[in-house]
Amino acid sequence: MKMIEAIVKPFKLDEVKDALLEMGVQGMTVTEVKGFGRQKGHKETYRGQEYTIEFVPKVKIEVAVTDAQMPRVIETITRAAKTGSIGDGKIFVRDLTAAVRIRTGETGETAL
Amino acid sequence: MIDPEQDDNRKRRRQGVFSIIGLTIAVMLGTLAVFTGSVAAQDPAATSAQVVAPVAAPVLKIDTGDTAWVLTSTALVLAMTMPGLALFYGGLVRSKNVLSTIMQSVVILCLVSLLWILVGYSLAFGPDKGGLIGGLEWMGLSGVGSEPHPVYGPTIPHQVFMLFQLMFAAITPALITGAVAERMKFSALLLFAALWSLVIYTPVAHWIWGGGWLGKMGALDFAGGAVVHISSGVSALVCAIILGKRKGHGADYMAPHNLPFTLLGTGLLWFGWFGFNAGSALGANGLAGSTFLATHAAAATAALVWMGVEWAHRGKPTVLGLASGAVAGLATVTPASGYIGPFSAIVIGVFAGILCYFAVVWKGRMGYDDSLDVVGIHGVGGVFGILATGLLASKAINAAGADGLLFGNAGQLGIQAIMVVAVALFSVVGTWVILKVVDAAVGLRVSPEDESTGLDLSQHNERAYS
């Protein structure tokens, strides 16, 4: 099993969520994060005091998938989240050693 | 997170401070009880009857319209402090300090209200002693009843005048909190506010409004340009310098955490300022109307001008700029508001928007951390407003005032300048002394750790947003 971590632009969240649901992914966890890669931040001015904000707000989507699903999930997220401009985000994949459905106690791929 | 030894020391110090404060209050109340007891023993009616004069004293008639308006204005000015100033300042600080900022304004309102009733009013407006201070004859509001005072609101109950003035006394030290935001110890602030109100505010109010030497000289300050804005603005500068900069100033992100709060506060300040200025006409009449007009015209103009200057200077018009401009206009027009027409007010608004904008922007070069721009807006605005009064005042608007330079009377400007210097010097020296006393008693600043944690948690054990 794999844990896919995708960091995307906040306004792309709905599109990515819909695309994932459409292809059969059952659920996900979403967090609001901030970060930067190559995308530049922005300036704020308050009564003459200027601040340069380097961090850019992003959204992190985490989905636990089977090894078989992984390539299609990556492709779906990429397609849905892409705008073509700097700051589109990144996808990271981690190995998932175990998974449990709390309500039923199912383990492994049936828990996903 | 809690160091037991440090906690012990803090507890001991706290107990010490509370003992002192409690003792002081007890002594004051005791003195008051004795005093009012002895006064009540006399019959005030009998006393005045003994002063049998061949000419009957003028019978002062209470005007219901005037009284209603001044009562309303009193409530309006209260709203300026709470929640007006509380939110205006609260929105400008970081979220970890918002409660402490609000607390400072509100607690000062409460503290000064009590002090004013007990002794402040008497010191400020009581029978004149040598042109410098009022006597204690009215301590505990002795002799201050429903009967109008011949000079202080001859058509309204004396108590109403006292209450109206109370709100001015309350908001003035609250303004200073802006300069020491995010780093002053709460106990220090309490002590400072109490001392400043009694030692700085009451004399200055007496000099200008209470029959003191500046008023006798003909100095014009319709609603508090010097009494409120110069005194607090200049004192704020001293406080900012003595307390020092906030930790991380210039490097850390210290942007306002809630500008909608600040704008809400601005609305309440603008709304309340009609009570502050137009209420100072002490009557529901044409003067109140013209004062209202001047106040509003200056506010709107200064807001637009500040916004425009910022737009040209920085590239974008900001809502904080619009709000700051409005407040600057309101503060600047305050001393002139009852002596000028709408076009003079617009002129004042233009200059207020420009001068105060640059005062705030250049504050950085001066090297002091006046966190919420009390100096740039109230200090600079107050000074300019008082001087502008010397230029633009017109007896055609208010016969009880005087003409300014532009209406043929060059002397007024000189008198205004003397008022500026006197109030500024007294405030600077007095504030410096008070700060030294407070520092010796309880210490001025919170510890660096407490400053990093935020004053809401470190001073008040509270969190604003969960």
d(CA B240, CA B184) in angstroms, rounded, equals 10
Tell me what pLDDT residue A100 has: 96
CATH pick for B60-460 out of 3.40.640.10, 2.60.40.1080, 1.10.3430.10, 3.40.50.300: 1.10.3430.10
**pTM strictly above 0.90:** no
**Beta-carbon separation of A48 and B255 below 8 A:** no
The domain that holds A41 is classified in CATH as: 3.30.70.120
Q: Which of B259, B318, B356, B378 to mutate to test the interface with A (most CBs of A within 10 A)?
A: B318
Give the mean pLDDT of B67-82.
Answer: 98
Secondary structure (DSSP) of B144-212: -SSSPPSSS-TTS-HHHHHHHHHHHHHHHHHHHGGGGTTTB-HHHHHHHHHHHIIIIIHHHHHHHTSS-
**Beta-carbon separation of A47 and B373 below 8 A:** yes
**Beta-carbon separation of B253 and A53 below 8 A:** yes
Q: Which residues of B touch A47 (CB under 8 A)?
A: 320-321, 324, 360-361, 373
Closest residue on chain A to B369 (Cα): A49
Task: Give A44→chain B minimum CA distance, Å.
Answer: 8
pLDDT digits (tens, 9 = 90+) for A12-42: 999 999 999 999 998 999 999 999 988 888 8
Give the mean pLDDT of B278-292.
Answer: 98
Task: Give B340→chain A minimum CA distance, Å.
Answer: 30
**Beta-carbon separation of A51 and B255 below 8 A:** yes
C-alpha of B76 from chain center = 14
Measure the CA angle with vertex B209, ends B327 and B383; round to 5°.
40
Closest residue on chain B to A50 (Cα): B255
**Beta-carbon separation of A47 and B314 below 8 A:** no
Give the mean pLDDT of B113-133.
Answer: 97
Per cent of chain B over pLDDT 90 is: 85
Task: Give A48→chain B minimum CA distance, Å.
Answer: 5
pLDDT digits (tens, 9 = 90+) for B293-337: 999 999 999 999 999 999 999 999 999 999 999 999 999 999 999
A28 three-class SS: coil
Provide the residue range defining the domain that includes A104. 2-111
Number of domains in chain A: 1
Tell me what pLDDT residue B298 has: 98
B75 and B164 Cβ atoms separated by less than 8 Å = no
Tell me what pLDDT residue B28 has: 64
B341 three-class SS: coil
pLDDT digits (tens, 9 = 90+) for A54-70: 999 999 999 999 999 99
Q: Which residues of B touch A46 (CB under 8 A)?
A: 255-256, 318, 320
Which of A47, A51, A53 shows the shortest C-beta gap to B320? A47
Task: Give B364→chain A minimum CA distance, Å.
Answer: 8
Selection from B16-20, B43-47, B200-204 with the highest mean pLDDT: B200-204
d(CA A74, CA B65) in angstroms, rounded, equals 76
Which of A47, A48, A51 shows the shortest C-beta gap to B253? A51
Give the mean pLDDT of A57-86.
Answer: 96
- Residue B46, pLDDT > 50, answer no
Q: What are phi and psi of A58, to 5 degrees?
A: -140, 175
Chain A residues interacting with chain B (CB cutoff of 8 angstroms):
44-49, 51, 53
- Residue B178, pLDDT > 80, answer yes
**Helix pair angle (B411-442, B4-41), 10° resolution:** 130
Q: Which residues of B touch A41 (CB under 8 A)?
A: none
The number of residues making up chain A comes to 112
B293 and B317 Cβ atoms separated by less than 8 Å = no
B26 CB-side CA count, 13 A:
6
pLDDT digits (tens, 9 = 90+) for B346-364: 999 999 999 999 999 888 7
Least Cα distance to B97 among B459, B456, B460, B465 occurs for B456
Please give the radius of gyration of chain B, using alpha carbons only, rounded to the nearest integer.
Answer: 22
